[in-house]
C-alpha cells in the first residue's frame, strides 16, 4: 500500500509495521494518522503501511487500533526504511459485579427494519464512515446478537469494511461512546447481498437503540485508486464496495464522518438527502419471564 499524504519537494517514504506488543503479531487495519491533520492510511492485513510525506511538515503520527492504547510517533523515529511500532492492549478496570442467571425464555427481535428496499447507492471514499441509529425497546435488558449490511454489486464488492457500534450522544444525537472493542472486519462476495456479522459474544447492550456504522477501510486493493460507477458515469471518485440505501429509514439520525476526521455530522449538515439511509439492521435478544 502506498498513499501520498503531502506533495512537497523533499518528501520521503515512511514505512513500517504495527504489531501487538505481547503477541508480536501484525495488527490489521490499524490507523496511522498525521497529528492535527485529517490525513492517514490503514495498515494492511499484516499490519504493514507505507506512505510519502515531508518530515518537516509533520509534527507527529498518531498510531491507533480498536482495543489498543494510542501511540504518538515522531517523524525522526523513522530512522530506517521500516519501523516496527508496538501497541499495548488497553487495560480496562471492571467494577465488582454480582452475576445472576437470567430466567425465562430467550426472545429475539429486529433492531431497525428487516424488509428494506434497495433504491439507491452510497458511493464512499477510502476512510469515510456512515452510521444509522436503530431503535430498540427500553423495557428489557437487550443484547445485540447480529448485524446485517447490504452491499451492492457496484465497485469491488469483496473489498473489506469495518463495523462499529456506538451509543447515541445526549444533546447532539450523534454517535458517541464506542461499544465495540475490537476489529469487526467483513466483506461481501459477489454483491447484491446481506453481509452478516455475529456479535453475540460481545454482550453489547442496545436498550433504547444504538448507532451502527460502516467504515470503508480497504477501498480498491487497500489504496486510494479512484473507481468510476458502472451505473452512473458522473460518479468517478469512490473506492471499493458500495453500500445500498433505502428511503425514510433511520431518519433523522443518519450520520457521516469524512476520511480520518474525528467529528460526526448529520446527513443534513453534509448536504445529503436525509431520506436516504444505509441498509443496515440487526437482531437483539432478551429474556422474557
What value does the mean pLDDT take over residues 25-53? 91
Instruction: Write b or e for each residue in 13-42: b if 16 or more Cβ atoms lie within 10 A of its Cβ, otherwise e.
Output: ebbbbbbbeeeeebbbbbbbbbeeeebbbb
What pLDDT digit, counting tens, does each position of 84-106 carry? Answer: 999 999 865 444 444 455 666 88
Residue closest to 102 by CA, chosen among 252, 181, 203, 193: 203
Coil, strand or helix: which one is 142? Answer: coil
**Cα(124)–Cα(220) distance, rounded to whole angstroms?**
12
What pLDDT digit, counting tens, does each position of 175-212 carry? Answer: 999 999 888 999 999 999 999 999 999 999 998 999 99
Length of the chain, in residues: 289
Supply the pLDDT for residue 193: 97
Q: Which residues does 14 contact at the CB level (< 8 Å), separation at least 6?
A: 50, 51, 52, 53, 61, 75, 78, 83
Supply the pLDDT for residue 102: 60
pTM (two decimals): 0.88
Using the structure block, give the residue that is written with the C-alpha cell 433504547.
Answer: 208
- Residue 1 — very low, low, confident or very high, per pLDDT cuts 50/70/90? very low
- Residue 143 — very low, low, confident or very high, per pLDDT cuts 50/70/90? very high
Mean pLDDT of the chain: 86
- Structural domains in the chain, sorted by start: 3-87 (2.60.40.1120), 105-288 (2.60.120)
- Residue 220 — very low, low, confident or very high, per pLDDT cuts 50/70/90? low
Residue 165 has pLDDT above 90, yes or no: yes
Supply the pLDDT for residue 100: 52
CB–CB of 150/194 below 8 Å? yes
Amino acid at each position: 500500500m502506498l498513499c501520498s499524504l503531502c506533495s512537497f519537494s523533499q518528501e520521503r517514504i515512511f514505512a513500517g509495521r504495527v504489531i501487538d506488543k505481547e503477541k508480536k503479531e501484525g495488527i490489521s487495519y490499524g490507523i496511522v494518522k498525521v497529528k492535527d491533520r485529517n490525513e492517514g492510511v490503514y495498515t494492511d492485513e499484516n499490519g504493514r503501511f507505507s506512505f510519502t510525506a515531508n518530515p518537516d511538515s509533520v509534527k507527529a503520527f498518531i498510531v491507533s487500533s480498536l482495543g489498543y492504547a494510542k501511540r504518538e510517533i515522531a517523524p525522526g523515529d523513522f530512522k530506517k526504511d521500516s519501523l516496527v511500532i508496538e501497541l499495548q492492549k488497553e487495560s480496562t478496570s471492571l467494577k465488582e459485579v454480582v452475576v445472576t442467571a437470567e430466567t425465562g425464555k430467550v426472545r429475539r427481535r429486529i433492531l431497525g427494519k428487516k424488509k428494506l428496499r434497495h433504491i439507491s447507492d452510497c458511493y464512499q471514499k477510502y476512510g469515510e464512515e456512515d452510521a444509522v441509529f436503530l431503535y430498540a425497546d427500553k423495557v428489557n435488558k437487550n443484547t445485540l446478537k447480529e448485524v446485517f449490511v447490504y452491499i451492492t454489486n457496484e465497485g469491488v464488492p469483496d473489498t473489506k469494511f469495518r463495523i462499529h457500534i456506538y451509543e447515541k450522544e445526549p444533546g447532539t444525537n450523534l454517535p458517541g461512546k464506542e461499544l465495540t472493542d475490537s476489529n469487526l472486519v467483513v466483506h461481501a462476495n459477489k454483491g447484491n447481498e446481506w453481509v452478516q456479522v455475529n456479535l453475540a459474544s460481545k454482550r453489547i447492550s442496545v436498550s433504547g437503540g444504538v448507532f451502527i456504522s460502516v467504515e470503508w477501510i480497504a477501498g480498491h486493493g487497500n489504496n486510494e485508486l479512484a473507481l468510476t460507477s458502472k451505473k452512473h458515469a458522473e460518479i468517478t471518485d469512490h473506492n471499493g464496495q458500495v453500500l445500498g440505501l433505502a428511503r425514510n429509514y433511520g431518519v433523522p439520525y443518519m450520520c457521516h464522518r469524512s476520511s480520518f476526521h474525528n467529528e460526526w455530522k448529520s446527513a443534513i449538515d453534509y448536504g445529503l438527502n436525509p431520506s436516504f439511509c444505509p441498509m443496515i439492521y440487526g437482531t437483539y435478544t432478551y429474556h422474557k419471564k
